[in-house]
């Protein structure tokens, strides 16, 4: 049986990701000194977690340059890209590594996107409830509850690498966490 995993904002090869700061002045990717070290850790963690038969949804911002996109050839699993705001290479470049490339995807009643979608788009008339939006883009930040800005909005789940220990997270683990 194959498992489904999700991950976002790998930014392979992107040196500046290791210089960006949070609002409190700490580095967003404080665990690693540079892209070489961060990429190596993500590759190792990915391949220890994901088998060749598994499926991985990458929720955008994979790599800026074609040379860094080649890292995907070293990663286990069948990959689907949900394009992010920094995924600007030609489709033919992504087609070498991804089974499919999409703007968004529905999966088990949840909506996968790179950028968090508007709360109005989460409402399901058919089921008379809110869907969950699994997203990336915000790195170490979270979508906050509009009624209590000190709490994360439970309708959103971030799979940015900074929030999932730089390791793809299984769909089953996400379902457990959102309950």
CB neighbour list of residue 26: distance below 8 Å, 6 or more residues apart: none
Cβ-based neighbour number of residue 136 at 10 Å: 29
Distance separating alpha carbons of residues 83 and 29, to the nearest angstrom: 22
pLDDT, tens digit, 9 for 90 and up, residues 25-56: 999 999 999 999 999 999 999 999 999 999 99
pLDDT (tens digit, 9 = 90+) per residue, 4-17?
999 999 999 999 99
Task: Give the pLDDT band of residue 90 (cuts 50, 70, 90).
Answer: very high
- Percentage of residues in the chain having pLDDT higher than 70: 99
Comparing CA positions, the residue from 131, 129, 135, 130 lying closest to residue 112 is: 135
Global pTM reads 0.94
The pLDDT mean for the chain works out to 94
Contact assessment for residue 35 and residue 85, using Cβ atoms and an 8 Å cutoff: no
Q: How confident is the model at residue 149 (pLDDT cuts 50, 70, 90)?
A: confident
Burial of 10 from C-beta contacts in 10 A (0-12 / 13-18 / 19+): buried
Closest CA to 87 of 107, 101, 71: 101
Query: How many whole angstroms from its chain centre is CA 148?
Result: 25
């Amino acid at each position: 049986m194959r498992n489904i995993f999700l991950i976002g904002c790998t930014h392979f090869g992107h040196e500046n990701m290791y210089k960006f700061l949070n609002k409190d002045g700490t580095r967003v990717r404080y665990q690693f000194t540079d892209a070489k070290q961060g990429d190596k850790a993500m590759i190792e963690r990915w391949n220890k977690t994901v088998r060749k038969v598994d499926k991985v949804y990458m929720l955008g911002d994979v790599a800026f340059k074609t040379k860094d996109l080649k890292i995907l050839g070293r990663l286990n699993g069948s990959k689907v890209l949900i394009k992010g705001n920094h995924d600007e290479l030609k489709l033919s470049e992504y087609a070498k590594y991804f089974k499919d490339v999409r703007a968004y995807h529905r999966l088990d009643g949840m909506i996968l996107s790179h950028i968090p979608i508007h709360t109005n788009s989460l409402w399901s008339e058919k089921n008379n409830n809110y869907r969950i939006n699994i997203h990336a883009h915000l790195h170490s930040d979270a979508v906050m509850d509009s009624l209590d800005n000190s709490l994360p909005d439970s309708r959103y789940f971030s799979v940015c690498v900074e929030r999932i220990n730089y390791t793809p997270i299984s769909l089953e683990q996400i379902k457990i966490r959102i309950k």
